[in-house]
Every structure is written in C-alpha cells, then in structure tokens.
Amino acid sequence: MTLSENLPYLRTRQNMTQEQLAEQLDVSRQSVSKWESGASYPEMETILKLCDIFHIDMDTLLRGSAEKSLAEDSAGYDRFMNLYALKIAGAVAGIIVGVAVSSLIYLMGMPEVFSVILLMTVIAVCTVILIASGMEEENFRKQYPVVSDFYTDKQRQGFRRKSIWYVAGSVGAILFGVILLILTEGLEAYEEWIGSVFLLIVAGAVFFLVYSGMMEEKYHIAKYNWLNNPTPEDKARRRRVRTVCGVIILLATALYVGLGMSLKVWKAAAVIYPVAGILCGVAKVLLGPKMDEE
C-alpha cells in the first residue's frame, strides 16, 4: 500500500474529515485531497506530523499496510505490558506481605532474627524485581518508541468493566479489614495476629489497585508514544522526578536502618518503604511531564 491508500484509512478510522486534518497540518483541504488521490506528495516535515497524528511509523505510512499494522501487535506490546504490570504489582504487594508473614512467624514462636531475615530477604527480592522490571520497560520503549494503536473499542470497554470490580473489590477488602480491626478491638491476645491478617488483606487490595491502574495505562497508546518522544522540558522534568525519588528511597533506607538498630523495631519500621513508594508516586504526578503541555 502507499500513502494515498493509507491516509484515507487512517483519517476515516479517527472520524476525521479532510478539512480537520488539513487544519491540524496547517495546509489546505485541496492538499490533503491531492495526497489521497496520489496527485502530489507531502513534504518530509508534514509526513512526520502525520506519523504523530496517527501514531504510526513512517515506513508503514509510506510503504506498508496501515490497516494490517493497526490490527496486530507486531511489537508484542500487549504481552510485555501484561507481564510488567504483574511484576510491579506483585513486588509492591510482596513487601507488605513480607511484613505480615514475618510478624506471623514471630508470633508462632520462631526467633525474632528469623522473622527479620525473612523480611529483609523479601524486601531485597521485591526491590530487585522493581529495578529489573523498570530497566526492562525502559529497554522496550527504546526498541519500540512508536506502537500502532491496535486495541479495539470493545477491548477497552471490556477492561473498563473489569477495572470497576478490581477497584471496588480492593476498596471493599480494605474496609472489611478495618471493620475486622474495630470488631476485635480489645482482644489483646489476638491483636498482633489480627494486625498481620489485616496487612495481608491490604497487600491483596494493593496488588489489584496497582495492577488495575497499570493495565488501564496500557491501553493509552497515544500516551505511550508521547512519553517516548519527550521535549527537552519533559526530559528535565523526568530527571527531576528521578532525583527526588532517589533521595526519598535513600532517606527511607537510612530511617529504616536507624529505627531498626536503635529501637529494635525492624518489622514495624518496614512500613517506611510502602510510604516511600507512595511519595515517589506523588512526586511523579506533581513534578513529572504532563501530556496536555505538549
């Protein structure tokens, strides 16, 4: 296929008229009409704009089949993002599970040193997974900076229906845990046991909340392509976020070790890491690049 065949398909797919496309490109409607009839050819700068507007690579636009490209996941994007979401959600929830399990082991009569070793091991493993997964995602973005939007409206709507239950179920689980804590208040003999069970409930809720959010993000192909082609200002914002998050993690680690060694509260102090993760997320929202600024 050629540009004259791909362009009408792409324009129609986005319910865009020749006039609307011409306005975005700052050209006349007649120019767009000539491109689609094969009577003339756009300049290179305009071709690049067309790639940005339709989120398609230049080779596919000029020589490939846009229809075929948009109908299939040639980069393996969907599979990669599914695994990425599972790894990140699992690692984040795993830290909370580690705190709960280490507490349960201690309550069952095992020496405290074993519970501390278990907790530190879980935190180390989950941290490695988070770092390695982030590096894998960065490499994937470099290899596939532009991905065609192959998802259908039916697929998007299907996931949105699922995500409602993910979020509602997670919130409901946390509320159930809170009710459990309230109903069992005063049972000192079981207080720590119930607290550990509550953490396990929270861990499950956190997993589905993180997973749901990342899967929702997966369907935003336009945002994925935008993030892979940042402006200098966007790059500066990203460096700022990385610096702030690095400082947060270092401070969290110093505080965790300090509290653990001075007050011997290794298990309780582990909550610092989830809090640090939340603070990093807040920093990303407040300081990171924003799509509407482009």
Of 82, 55, 240, 265, nearest in space to 159 by CA: 82
Res. 204: pLDDT tops 90: yes
Res. 165: pLDDT tops 90: yes
What pLDDT score does 86 carry? 95
Among 117-126, 167-176, 221-230, which is the least confidently predicted range?
221-230
Of 11, 5, 8, nearest in space to 53 by CA: 11
> What fold, for 3-71?
434 Repressor (Amino-terminal Domain) (1.10.260)
What is the Cα–Cα distance from 220 to 149, expressed in whole angstroms?
A: 9
What pLDDT score does 293 carry? 41
Among 121-135, 227-241, 260-274, which is the least confidently predicted range?
260-274
Taking the domains of the chain in order of start, what are their residue ranges?
Answer: 3-71, 76-218, 230-294
Mean pLDDT to the nearest integer, 256-267: 75
**Angle between the 232-263 and 272-287 helix axes, to the nearest 10 degrees?**
160
What pLDDT score does 164 carry? 93
Model confidence pLDDT, tens digit, residues 145-159? 877 777 877 888 899
Mean pLDDT to the nearest integer, 59-80: 76
What pLDDT score does 190 carry? 74
What is the Cα–Cα distance from 33 to 49, expressed in whole angstroms?
A: 17
Task: Extract the tokens encoding 6.
Answer: 């791909």
Residues 49 and 25: beta-carbon distance below 8 Å: yes
**Angle between the 77-107 and 191-218 helix axes, to the nearest 10 degrees?**
170
Torsion sign over Cα 27, 64, 226, 145: negative
Of 110, 144, 96, nearest in space to 277 by CA: 96
Residues 95 and 273: beta-carbon distance below 8 Å: yes
What pLDDT score does 1 carry? 62
Res. 229: pLDDT tops 80: no
> Could you count the other beta carbons within 10 Å of the beta carbon of residue 165?
12
Q: With left for phi above 0 and alpha for psi between -120 and 50, is residue 141 left, alpha or beta? A: alpha
What pLDDT score does 125 carry? 94
Sorting pLDDT into bands at 50, 70 and 90, what band is 71? low
What is the Cα–Cα distance from 66 to 2, expressed in whole angstroms?
A: 9
Res. 49: pLDDT tops 90: no
What pLDDT score does 294 carry? 42
Residues 115 and 196: beta-carbon distance below 8 Å: no
What is the full DSSP assignment across 118-164? HHHHHHHHHHHHHHHHHHHHHHHHHH-S-------HHHHHHHHHHHH
What pLDDT score does 185 carry? 76
Of 36, 32, 34, 27, nearest in space to 6 by CA: 36
Res. 236: pLDDT tops 50: yes
Residues 17 and 74: beta-carbon distance below 8 Å: no
Res. 45: pLDDT tops 70: yes
pTM metric for this prediction: 0.65
